[in-house]
Amino acid sequence: MSGSDEQFFPGFATTRVATDEAEIFVRHGGAGPAVVLLHGHPRTSATWHRVAPLLVAQGYTVICPDLRGYGRSRGPAPTPDHAAHAKRAVAADIRAVAARLGHDRFRLVGHDRGSYVALRLTLDHPEAVTQVALLDCLPITEHLRRCDAAFATRWWHWFFFAQPEIPERVIGADPEAWYAPKADPATMGAANHAEFLRAIRDPAVVRAMLEDYRAGLTIDRAHEEADRAAGRRLRMPTLVLWSERDDLADLHGDPLRIWQEWADDVRGHGIDSGHHMAEEAPGALAAALTGFFGATPPPRT
Protein backbone atom coordinates (compact mmCIF):
# COMPACT_ATOMS: atom_id res chain seq x y z
CA MET A 1 0.00 0.00 0.00
CA SER A 2 1.45 3.33 -1.00
CA GLY A 3 0.51 6.97 -0.72
CA SER A 4 2.21 10.37 -0.57
CA ASP A 5 3.11 13.27 1.73
CA GLU A 6 3.10 15.88 -1.01
CA GLN A 7 2.87 18.96 1.22
CA PHE A 8 4.91 17.56 4.10
CA PHE A 9 7.58 15.55 2.24
CA PRO A 10 7.32 16.88 -1.34
CA GLY A 11 7.79 14.18 -3.95
CA PHE A 12 7.95 11.36 -1.38
CA ALA A 13 5.85 8.22 -1.43
CA THR A 14 4.65 6.35 1.66
CA THR A 15 4.69 2.58 1.81
CA ARG A 16 4.15 -0.20 4.34
CA VAL A 17 6.70 -2.99 4.19
CA ALA A 18 5.99 -6.33 5.86
CA THR A 19 9.08 -7.90 7.45
CA ASP A 20 9.33 -11.23 9.24
CA GLU A 21 7.78 -9.88 12.45
CA ALA A 22 6.65 -6.33 11.76
CA GLU A 23 4.94 -3.93 9.37
CA ILE A 24 7.07 -0.85 8.81
CA PHE A 25 5.71 2.49 7.64
CA VAL A 26 8.26 4.22 5.43
CA ARG A 27 8.58 7.47 3.52
CA HIS A 28 10.91 7.41 0.53
CA GLY A 29 11.81 9.73 -2.31
CA GLY A 30 14.55 10.99 -4.59
CA ALA A 31 16.96 9.22 -6.93
CA GLY A 32 20.56 8.12 -6.60
CA PRO A 33 22.50 6.41 -3.81
CA ALA A 34 20.32 5.50 -0.84
CA VAL A 35 20.44 7.18 2.56
CA VAL A 36 18.40 5.66 5.39
CA LEU A 37 17.41 8.05 8.21
CA LEU A 38 16.44 6.57 11.60
CA HIS A 39 14.61 8.76 14.12
CA GLY A 40 14.79 8.76 17.91
CA HIS A 41 12.41 8.80 20.87
CA PRO A 42 9.63 9.94 20.99
CA ARG A 43 9.64 11.07 17.36
CA THR A 44 8.60 9.41 14.10
CA SER A 45 10.07 9.53 10.61
CA ALA A 46 8.40 12.94 10.33
CA THR A 47 11.28 14.43 12.34
CA TRP A 48 13.34 14.36 9.10
CA HIS A 49 10.91 16.53 7.10
CA ARG A 50 13.37 19.43 6.80
CA VAL A 51 16.50 17.32 6.20
CA ALA A 52 15.16 14.73 3.74
CA PRO A 53 14.36 17.21 0.92
CA LEU A 54 17.84 18.74 1.26
CA LEU A 55 19.43 15.32 0.76
CA VAL A 56 17.16 14.59 -2.21
CA ALA A 57 18.26 17.89 -3.74
CA GLN A 58 21.88 16.69 -3.46
CA GLY A 59 21.12 13.58 -5.50
CA TYR A 60 20.22 10.92 -2.96
CA THR A 61 17.37 8.50 -2.54
CA VAL A 62 16.13 9.07 1.02
CA ILE A 63 14.37 6.40 3.08
CA CYS A 64 12.71 7.40 6.37
CA PRO A 65 11.08 4.51 8.29
CA ASP A 66 9.15 4.60 11.53
CA LEU A 67 11.04 2.25 13.84
CA ARG A 68 9.26 -0.94 14.93
CA GLY A 69 6.35 0.04 17.20
CA TYR A 70 6.90 3.78 16.77
CA GLY A 71 4.56 6.04 14.79
CA ARG A 72 2.65 4.01 12.24
CA SER A 73 4.91 0.94 12.31
CA ARG A 74 3.76 -2.15 14.14
CA GLY A 75 5.66 -5.05 15.63
CA PRO A 76 5.08 -8.17 17.68
CA ALA A 77 3.90 -8.23 21.27
CA PRO A 78 6.58 -7.63 23.91
CA THR A 79 8.47 -10.68 25.15
CA PRO A 80 9.82 -11.30 28.65
CA ASP A 81 13.42 -11.06 27.43
CA HIS A 82 12.58 -7.94 25.35
CA ALA A 83 14.02 -9.59 22.24
CA ALA A 84 10.99 -8.52 20.18
CA HIS A 85 12.16 -4.92 20.57
CA ALA A 86 15.91 -5.50 20.62
CA LYS A 87 17.98 -3.36 18.30
CA ARG A 88 18.98 -6.54 16.46
CA ALA A 89 15.34 -7.17 15.52
CA VAL A 90 14.73 -3.53 14.57
CA ALA A 91 17.93 -3.43 12.51
CA ALA A 92 16.72 -6.49 10.59
CA ASP A 93 13.51 -4.58 9.82
CA ILE A 94 15.48 -1.66 8.41
CA ARG A 95 17.68 -3.84 6.25
CA ALA A 96 14.59 -5.59 4.88
CA VAL A 97 12.89 -2.25 4.13
CA ALA A 98 15.91 -0.96 2.20
CA ALA A 99 16.16 -4.22 0.24
CA ARG A 100 12.45 -4.15 -0.57
CA LEU A 101 12.93 -0.66 -1.98
CA GLY A 102 15.80 -1.91 -4.15
CA HIS A 103 18.84 -1.01 -2.04
CA ASP A 104 21.09 -3.78 -0.73
CA ARG A 105 23.75 -1.20 0.19
CA PHE A 106 23.12 2.22 1.65
CA ARG A 107 24.39 5.06 3.78
CA LEU A 108 22.90 5.03 7.26
CA VAL A 109 22.06 7.85 9.69
CA GLY A 110 20.67 7.33 13.19
CA HIS A 111 19.66 9.83 15.86
CA ASP A 112 19.08 9.11 19.56
CA ARG A 113 17.41 5.65 19.85
CA GLY A 114 17.70 5.30 16.08
CA SER A 115 21.47 5.56 16.45
CA TYR A 116 21.49 2.37 18.53
CA VAL A 117 19.64 0.64 15.71
CA ALA A 118 22.19 2.06 13.26
CA LEU A 119 25.07 0.78 15.37
CA ARG A 120 23.53 -2.68 15.59
CA LEU A 121 22.84 -2.79 11.84
CA THR A 122 26.44 -1.85 10.99
CA LEU A 123 27.83 -4.48 13.37
CA ASP A 124 25.45 -7.24 12.29
CA HIS A 125 25.35 -6.45 8.55
CA PRO A 126 28.51 -4.47 7.66
CA GLU A 127 28.20 -5.52 4.02
CA ALA A 128 25.00 -3.45 3.74
CA VAL A 129 26.29 -0.14 5.14
CA THR A 130 28.78 1.91 3.13
CA GLN A 131 28.98 4.84 5.60
CA VAL A 132 27.30 5.51 8.93
CA ALA A 133 26.48 8.73 10.80
CA LEU A 134 25.62 8.51 14.50
CA LEU A 135 23.93 11.56 16.05
CA ASP A 136 23.76 12.34 19.77
CA CYS A 137 24.93 8.85 20.56
CA LEU A 138 27.39 6.65 22.38
CA PRO A 139 27.06 2.88 22.60
CA ILE A 140 24.69 1.93 25.41
CA THR A 141 27.48 0.12 27.25
CA GLU A 142 29.65 3.24 27.18
CA HIS A 143 26.90 5.26 28.85
CA LEU A 144 26.42 2.59 31.49
CA ARG A 145 30.13 2.17 32.10
CA ARG A 146 30.32 5.89 32.90
CA CYS A 147 27.09 6.01 34.89
CA ASP A 148 27.45 8.28 37.89
CA ALA A 149 25.13 10.53 39.88
CA ALA A 150 25.17 13.21 37.16
CA PHE A 151 24.22 10.75 34.41
CA ALA A 152 21.57 9.02 36.54
CA THR A 153 20.06 12.40 37.44
CA ARG A 154 19.92 13.78 33.90
CA TRP A 155 19.10 10.51 32.12
CA TRP A 156 16.86 9.07 34.84
CA HIS A 157 14.21 8.24 32.24
CA TRP A 158 16.37 5.31 31.03
CA PHE A 159 15.90 3.59 34.37
CA PHE A 160 12.29 4.66 34.89
CA PHE A 161 11.24 3.42 31.44
CA ALA A 162 12.87 0.08 32.18
CA GLN A 163 10.56 -0.63 35.12
CA PRO A 164 7.77 -3.16 34.48
CA GLU A 165 4.26 -1.74 33.96
CA ILE A 166 4.67 1.43 36.05
CA PRO A 167 5.71 3.72 33.15
CA GLU A 168 2.70 2.61 31.07
CA ARG A 169 0.35 3.65 33.87
CA VAL A 170 2.09 6.96 34.54
CA ILE A 171 2.43 8.03 30.90
CA GLY A 172 -0.93 6.59 29.88
CA ALA A 173 -2.73 8.76 32.43
CA ASP A 174 -1.85 11.86 30.39
CA PRO A 175 0.62 11.27 27.54
CA GLU A 176 0.54 14.88 26.38
CA ALA A 177 1.45 16.13 29.86
CA TRP A 178 4.38 13.72 29.78
CA TYR A 179 5.70 14.27 26.27
CA ALA A 180 4.27 17.46 24.81
CA PRO A 181 5.48 20.33 27.06
CA LYS A 182 8.93 20.29 25.40
CA ALA A 183 7.53 19.71 21.90
CA ASP A 184 7.09 23.15 20.32
CA PRO A 185 4.97 23.11 17.12
CA ALA A 186 6.83 26.12 15.73
CA THR A 187 10.20 24.41 16.15
CA MET A 188 9.03 20.98 15.04
CA GLY A 189 6.76 22.13 12.21
CA ALA A 190 2.99 21.83 12.47
CA ALA A 191 2.60 18.55 10.55
CA ASN A 192 5.50 16.90 12.36
CA HIS A 193 4.02 18.00 15.70
CA ALA A 194 0.58 16.67 14.77
CA GLU A 195 2.06 13.28 13.83
CA PHE A 196 4.00 13.21 17.10
CA LEU A 197 0.79 13.85 19.05
CA ARG A 198 -1.06 11.06 17.25
CA ALA A 199 1.75 8.65 18.09
CA ILE A 200 2.04 9.43 21.80
CA ARG A 201 -1.74 9.15 22.25
CA ASP A 202 -1.60 5.50 21.13
CA PRO A 203 -1.00 3.13 24.08
CA ALA A 204 0.53 0.55 21.75
CA VAL A 205 3.14 3.07 20.61
CA VAL A 206 3.94 4.07 24.18
CA ARG A 207 4.37 0.41 25.14
CA ALA A 208 6.71 -0.21 22.21
CA MET A 209 8.79 2.87 23.04
CA LEU A 210 9.18 1.66 26.61
CA GLU A 211 10.15 -1.80 25.38
CA ASP A 212 12.89 -0.10 23.34
CA TYR A 213 14.41 1.16 26.61
CA ARG A 214 13.88 -2.13 28.44
CA ALA A 215 15.71 -3.91 25.65
CA GLY A 216 18.47 -1.31 25.84
CA LEU A 217 19.42 -2.11 29.41
CA THR A 218 19.19 -5.88 28.97
CA ILE A 219 19.51 -7.71 25.66
CA ASP A 220 21.01 -4.79 23.71
CA ARG A 221 23.62 -4.29 26.41
CA ALA A 222 24.50 -7.98 26.25
CA HIS A 223 24.85 -7.82 22.46
CA GLU A 224 27.25 -4.86 22.71
CA GLU A 225 29.31 -6.63 25.37
CA ALA A 226 29.58 -9.65 23.09
CA ASP A 227 30.72 -7.40 20.23
CA ARG A 228 33.51 -5.94 22.33
CA ALA A 229 34.60 -9.36 23.58
CA ALA A 230 34.76 -10.60 19.98
CA GLY A 231 36.66 -7.52 18.77
CA ARG A 232 33.93 -6.38 16.36
CA ARG A 233 34.35 -2.79 15.16
CA LEU A 234 32.87 -0.41 12.63
CA ARG A 235 35.13 -0.75 9.58
CA MET A 236 33.27 1.70 7.35
CA PRO A 237 33.74 5.50 7.55
CA THR A 238 31.88 6.79 10.61
CA LEU A 239 30.60 10.31 11.31
CA VAL A 240 29.73 11.32 14.87
CA LEU A 241 27.72 14.50 15.43
CA TRP A 242 26.38 15.85 18.69
CA SER A 243 24.14 18.73 19.76
CA GLU A 244 26.18 21.42 21.45
CA ARG A 245 23.16 22.58 23.49
CA ASP A 246 22.50 19.08 24.77
CA ASP A 247 24.51 17.24 27.44
CA LEU A 248 26.36 14.37 25.74
CA ALA A 249 29.77 16.06 25.75
CA ASP A 250 29.14 17.65 29.15
CA LEU A 251 28.57 14.25 30.71
CA HIS A 252 31.20 12.17 28.92
CA GLY A 253 33.75 14.47 27.32
CA ASP A 254 34.81 14.24 23.67
CA PRO A 255 32.50 11.75 21.92
CA LEU A 256 35.09 11.15 19.18
CA ARG A 257 37.58 9.81 21.71
CA ILE A 258 35.03 7.28 22.95
CA TRP A 259 33.96 6.25 19.44
CA GLN A 260 37.57 5.60 18.47
CA GLU A 261 37.31 2.50 20.66
CA TRP A 262 34.55 1.24 18.34
CA ALA A 263 35.36 2.54 14.86
CA ASP A 264 38.43 2.46 12.60
CA ASP A 265 37.71 5.71 10.74
CA VAL A 266 35.77 8.16 12.89
CA ARG A 267 35.36 11.90 12.50
CA GLY A 268 32.81 14.49 13.53
CA HIS A 269 31.96 17.65 15.43
CA GLY A 270 29.28 19.42 17.39
CA ILE A 271 26.21 21.04 15.83
CA ASP A 272 24.82 24.31 17.23
CA SER A 273 21.47 22.86 18.24
CA GLY A 274 19.37 21.38 20.97
CA HIS A 275 18.82 17.63 21.04
CA HIS A 276 16.51 17.36 18.01
CA MET A 277 19.02 18.64 15.48
CA ALA A 278 17.04 17.50 12.43
CA GLU A 279 14.29 19.92 13.44
CA GLU A 280 16.38 22.70 14.94
CA ALA A 281 19.43 22.82 12.62
CA PRO A 282 18.44 20.98 9.42
CA GLY A 283 20.73 22.99 7.15
CA ALA A 284 23.82 22.41 9.28
CA LEU A 285 22.98 18.74 9.67
CA ALA A 286 22.34 18.19 5.95
CA ALA A 287 25.59 19.99 5.10
CA ALA A 288 27.54 17.79 7.52
CA LEU A 289 25.99 14.64 6.10
CA THR A 290 26.51 15.50 2.44
CA GLY A 291 30.06 16.65 3.15
CA PHE A 292 30.80 13.33 4.79
CA PHE A 293 29.09 11.27 2.11
CA GLY A 294 30.88 13.10 -0.65
CA ALA A 295 34.27 13.06 0.99
CA THR A 296 34.52 9.28 1.24
CA PRO A 297 32.63 7.66 -1.65
CA PRO A 298 31.83 3.99 -1.12
CA PRO A 299 33.48 1.35 -3.32
CA ARG A 300 31.64 0.35 -6.45
CA THR A 301 29.82 -2.95 -6.42
Domains, the chain, with CATH or none:
2-295 (3.40.50.1820)
Per-residue pLDDT of 5-52, as tens digits, reads: 767 899 999 999 999 999 999 999 999 999 999 999 999 999 999 999
Strand 266-271 relative to strand 238-243: parallel, antiparallel, unpaired? parallel
109 forms bridges with which residues in the sheet? 37, 133
pLDDT of residue 96 exceeding 90, the answer is yes
Measured distance CA(45)–CA(241) in Å, rounded: 19
Mean pLDDT of 55-67: 97
Residue among 112, 100, 88, 103 at smallest CA distance from 38: 112
Q: Report pLDDT for 299.
A: 43
Average model confidence (pLDDT) for the chain? 95
Three-class SS state of 38: strand
Catalytic positions, written as ranges: 112, 275
pLDDT of residue 297 exceeding 60, the answer is no
* pLDDT bucket at 215, cuts 50 / 70 / 90: very high
Which residues are within 8 A (CB) of 175 and not within 5 positions of it... i.e. 6 or more apart? Answer: 200, 201, 206
pTM of the model: 0.96
